Structure 1
Amino acid sequence: MMVYLIVFALLFILEIFYFKVADRFNIIDKPNERSSHNTITLRGGGIIFYFAALFYFIWSGFNYPWFFLGLTLMTIVSFLDDIFTLSNRIRLLIHFTSVLLMAYELNVFSLPWYNLVLTFIVIVGIINAYNFMDGINGITASNSLAVGSLLLIANQQIHFIDPEFLIFTILGVLVFAFFNFRNKAKTFAGDVGSVSIAFILIFALGLLIIKTGNIIYLLFLLVYGLDSVWTIIRRLISRENIFQAHRSHLYQFLANEGKINRLLISTIYGLLQFIIGLLIIYISKYTYGVQILFSLGLIVFLSIIYLLLKNTFITRINNLKN
């Protein structure tokens, strides 16, 4: 316990030090057409996720070196992108290299080529979804706490990773949450935060799936996944550029058009994901047939709820315009 208190304190001090650096070098987030905030805020506070991983890496005697190298590359390029806006070619090259390093650590190169390609697509998709979903105060913190906690619970039943890895990660998220989970946030995660925490959680989730041979654990990311996938489908149908900044996610409609408190929305997203994850852990003990039926039923049920809510807000917006 003392180790955890020391790590938390060091991460807290590092976060405050980063704020001074960000303020000195004007590393800020200005509101744009995708933003759900209207004031200038320090950007990149999510860099603390990387330092949490760094502390674990040193404390553990350098466990998971290839993963950590990939995380370091991903963090550096994302941080630079937060400051300078790098070219897509450089960013994609580093992301591809980082995912390769993670895949090597996960030892998935022995898989058939089509499974390897699918693994790459899933990892890149989750990282981008995590990045796009980071749009209101507290949502990255609440979802990451939910997923990290679920992985820790699953690890108690199925030892697939050093638990300290998950605990150090959760400590980093708690420090970030202290400054971000506010009506007026002190800092935003930035790309460096959303990308790095996604990379960390995907790695742990990958180890769980490989250990069990069961992909049902991907539903630990179901809430983010539904909002991301249905938003992309809707934008494709509307012939919108899916790579362009937007405010089309359900949580953005709830916050901007619905005028619902952003922290309440973030809490609901995280709590819903945690409850779903607990159900997944319970159902994973049953046969694959039961798991498939449950998973499909859950996805369909939540999709119906999601689409009904979103269509309600879209109709309301159109009526106001007319």
Structure 2
Amino acid sequence: MEYTILGIVLMIIMLLYFKVADHFNIIDKPNQRSSHTEVTLRGGGIIFWFSALIYFVQNVQNNYFFFTGITLVSLVSFWDDIQSLSNKIRISIHFLSITLIFYDLNLFDLIPIWSVVIAYVLAIGLINAYNFMDGINGITGLYTLTVMGALLYVNTKIQLFIDGEFIKYAIIASLVFLFFNYRKKAKCFAGDVGSIAVAFWVIYLVLKLILVTESFIWLLFLAVYGVDAVCTILHRLYLKQNIFEAHRLHLYQVLSNEYKVQHRLVSLFYGLAQAGISLLVILLYQKVQDGIIFLIVILPLLLIYSSKFYLLNKSNLRLNHGA
């Protein structure tokens, strides 16, 4: 009953936000690098912050630092959705917010300083990777649902590392968001406020699980996004492009834009791929060495990602032939 009420409350909040966004013209206008073609309301991902707020109100004594952090990244991201901010401001807020959850997780006392530096790079990189991957209908909602589902299973069946309600509130928010976003014509997009807020939530959970189990294997719960984002950045650096500018070189963008595969189908593919990997990780955990599991997962993903170059080359040949 609690989750039904939460879902209804979040649904009402979303509908109210649509009126606000429509009134203040908070929209996403397509351009030549976009994967969509119609003007759509932006910032619907603010529902994740509201879900965190509702949880925090009920559990204020345990989540002060997390909620402060997610509020900061949500605020600056929502501002960026409305009026572009400089990268320096956004990265600074991300750094501050990550510092808050590191303090909450007691990371500064548990690991050496060089490891903390790596953790900062990894956390900020994952936040931005999650944001980079938010480009077509359903991809953020489905991927988040997959990741949170895997974390909930681990928390319930393998290793209790956090209050299960904390994960379930993110799952309910994902379902509500998907109701409006996973459509042929989306009612809204997540915006930076959605992708970055939920990435912050995911990173907090994955870090906590890593610390409790003393295993890095749970990073593979983000393997699909991670491989696509990192390889695309390397590809763009090779092409001498500005990695902070919009582009259409992610595998999901090539499939959606160059080959006109339906957005919802591509999003489903990403979600199912990550679900399969998460299941494999869970099955192999403590049965196979972590390093071997990483190889089993990452190498096939690299092979799949490399198909992008064949698809791009084929697309260019087709365009040249048509010209």
- Long gaps (5+) in structure 1: none
Question: Offset at 1:239?
Answer: 1.4
Contact in 2 for aligned 1:29/1:42 (Cα 8 Å): yes
Question: Offset at 1:271?
Answer: 1.0
Does 2:107 match 1:108? yes
Does 2:274 match 1:276? no
Does 2:93 match 1:94? yes
Does 2:106 match 1:127? no
Q: What amino acid does structure 1 have at the position aligned with 2:280?
A: L
Question: Offset at 1:220?
Answer: 0.2
Q: What amino acid does structure 1 have at the position aligned with 2:184?
A: N
Identity of aligned residues (%): 50
Contact in 2 for aligned 1:28/1:40 (Cα 8 Å): yes
| Structure 1 residues 43-64: Cα deviation after superposition (integer angstroms, max 9, x where no partner) | 0000000111111111224422
Answer with 101-110 or 17-26: which moved more.
101-110
Contact in 2 for aligned 1:33/1:247 (Cα 8 Å): no
Answer with 238-247 or 173-182: which moved more.
238-247
Counterparts of 2:68 and 2:103, CA distance in 1: 11
Q: What amino acid does structure 1 have at the position aligned with 2:183?
A: R
Aligned residue in 2 for 1:310: 308
Does 2:81 match 1:82? yes
| Structure 1 residues 161-180: Cα deviation after superposition (integer angstroms, max 9, x where no partner) | 10000001100010000000
Aligned residue in 1 for 2:228: 227
Aligned residue in 2 for 1:136: 136
Aligned residue in 1 for 2:318: 320
Question: Offset at 1:316?
Answer: 1.5
Contact in 2 for aligned 1:33/1:246 (Cα 8 Å): no
Give secondary structure in 2 for the equivalent of 1:20. helix
Question: Offset at 1:293?
Answer: 1.4
**Alignment RMSD (CA, Å):** 1.1
Counterparts of 2:207 and 2:8, CA distance in 1: 29
Q: What amino acid does structure 1 have at the position aligned with 2:96?
A: T
Which ranges of 4 or more aligned residues in structure 1 deviate by more than 3 Å? none
Counterparts of 2:107 and 2:252, CA distance in 1: 35
Aligned residue in 1 for 2:214: 213
Answer with 151-160 or 79-88: which moved more.
79-88
Contact in 2 for aligned 1:82/1:191 (Cα 8 Å): yes
Counterparts of 2:316 and 2:259, CA distance in 1: 14
Give secondary structure in 2 for the equivalent of 1:187. coil
Does 2:261 match 1:260? yes
Counterparts of 2:139 and 2:235, CA distance in 1: 22
| Structure 1 residues 130-159: Cα deviation after superposition (integer angstroms, max 9, x where no partner) | 000000000000100000000000001200
Question: Offset at 1:298?
Answer: 2.2
Q: What amino acid does structure 1 have at the position aligned with 2:145?
A: L
- Residues 51-62 of structure 1 aligned to structure 2 (within 5 Å): 51-62=50-61
Counterparts of 1:20 and 1:317, CA distance in 2: 41
Contact in 2 for aligned 1:22/1:42 (Cα 8 Å): yes
| Structure 1 residues 220-255: Cα deviation after superposition (integer angstroms, max 9, x where no partner) | 000101111111111111112111110100000001
Question: Offset at 1:305?
Answer: 2.2
Counterparts of 1:61 and 1:226, CA distance in 2: 36
Counterparts of 1:33 and 1:47, CA distance in 2: 26
Answer with 32-41 or 124-133: which moved more.
32-41
Counterparts of 1:321 and 1:242, CA distance in 2: 25
Counterparts of 2:134 and 2:184, CA distance in 1: 15
Question: Offset at 1:296?
Answer: 0.9
Counterparts of 1:205 and 1:268, CA distance in 2: 23
Counterparts of 1:92 and 1:132, CA distance in 2: 14
Q: What amino acid does structure 2 have at the position aligned with 1:67?
A: F
Q: What amino acid does structure 2 have at the position aligned with 1:35?
A: S
Question: Offset at 1:287?
Answer: 4.5
Q: Give the structure-2-normalised TM-score.
A: 0.96
Does 2:144 match 1:181? no
Aligned residue in 2 for 1:69: 68
Q: What amino acid does structure 2 have at the position aligned with 1:295?
A: F
Q: What amino acid does structure 2 have at the position aligned with 1:23?
A: D
Q: What amino acid does structure 1 have at the position aligned with 2:134?
A: D
Q: Give the structure-1-normalised TM-score.
A: 0.96
Counterparts of 2:113 and 2:167, CA distance in 1: 30
Q: What amino acid does structure 2 have at the position aligned with 1:113?
A: I
| Structure 1 residues 241-276: Cα deviation after superposition (integer angstroms, max 9, x where no partner) | 111110100000001111111101101100110110
Q: What amino acid does structure 1 have at the position aligned with 2:130?
A: Y
Aligned residue in 1 for 2:300: 301
Give secondary structure in 2 for the equivalent of 1:296. helix
Counterparts of 2:28 and 2:71, CA distance in 1: 23
Question: Offset at 1:96?
Answer: 1.2
